[in-house]
Amino acid sequence: MSETGAGRRRRRRRRISGLAVPLSILLGSLLVWQSSESAYSATTATPDNTWNAVSVSLTNSQVGSAPFTVATAVPDAALNAITLAGFAPSSARTGGQACVMVDYQTAAPAKIRMRIDDASDTLSGALEMVVDQGTGATNAACAGFVSNGTVVYGAVAGSTAKVSGFPTTWSGSSSGEWTAPGAAQLWYRITWLLPSNAAAATSGTTADFKFQWEAQAY
């Protein structure tokens, strides 16, 4: 008696279903083996990596009082330019000098620049000023100051540089840039003169500004 097609199909299904159980057991065994294998592992790591941004600190010797307060400035009787060597204005009302020590207090190297905060006052167009760097000063009156030859603004001899030409931004104040290798101090000598040829139109006007230094660490 021949087997029908339906019988053959039933027999094949029985064979397949019979294989399904051992296959499931095999897969389960593999999972157990893999799970057991993951229990044997090892890792290694470095200590915490850390980055601490530098805190830039900058101060000066005149934070408590302005280097110059001249209530009755008048044109000098004879001088119409600043000559640092032997500079001798007619009086304290016509010209003078002051020294400011800038103290950079950070270990990282930095570029330090000087500027003013306002150059627009009318008298700034007549007021002459020279700034040079140096060492050895012991007070604001520049006792013991020795110039290192770096002139930040103006010129050593016969300078007629006006305050109105001083920069008021970092980008404009590269002249005389001081590169500090780390914590360091530097003196700045500031010399001013209201020259004999100051325009009559400046009578009764003012110049009112701050000296500023900025350090950018790198």
Mean pLDDT of successive 10-residue stretches along the chain, which has 218 residues: 57 54 53 62 97 97 97 98 96 98 98 98 98 97 97 97 98 97 98 98 98 98
Question: Coil, strand, or helix at residue 136?
Answer: coil
Number of Cα atoms under 13 Å in the Cβ half of residue 179 = 1
Beta bridge partners of 82: 159
pLDDT value at residue 183: 98
pLDDT at residue number 8: 59
Q: Measuring CA to CA, which residue among 1, 186, 196, 208 is closest to residue 79?
A: 196
The pLDDT value recorded for residue 28 is 58
Please, how many CA atoms are within 13 Å of residue 108, restricted to the half-sphere of its CB?
Answer: 13
**Separation of alpha carbons 144 and 142, rounded Å:** 6
Question: What are the boundaries of each domain within the chain?
Answer: 1-38, 58-217
Task: Collapse the DSSP code of 26 into the 3-class scheme (helix H, G, I; strand E, B; otherwise coil) and give the result.
Answer: helix
User: Distances in Å between the alpha carbon of 173 and those of 135, 151, 177?
Assistant: 21, 13, 8
Residue 33: predicted pLDDT: 47
Cα angle 140, 173, 184; round to 5:
50
Contacts of 186 (CB under 8 A, 6+ apart): 101, 102, 104, 112, 133, 134, 135, 178, 180
pLDDT for 94: 98
| Contact of 175 with 153, CB cutoff 8 Å | yes
Per-residue pLDDT, 30: 47
Q: How far apart are CA 41 and CA 38, in angstroms?
A: 6
- Residue 27: per-residue pLDDT: 52
Q: What is the reported pTM? A: 0.81
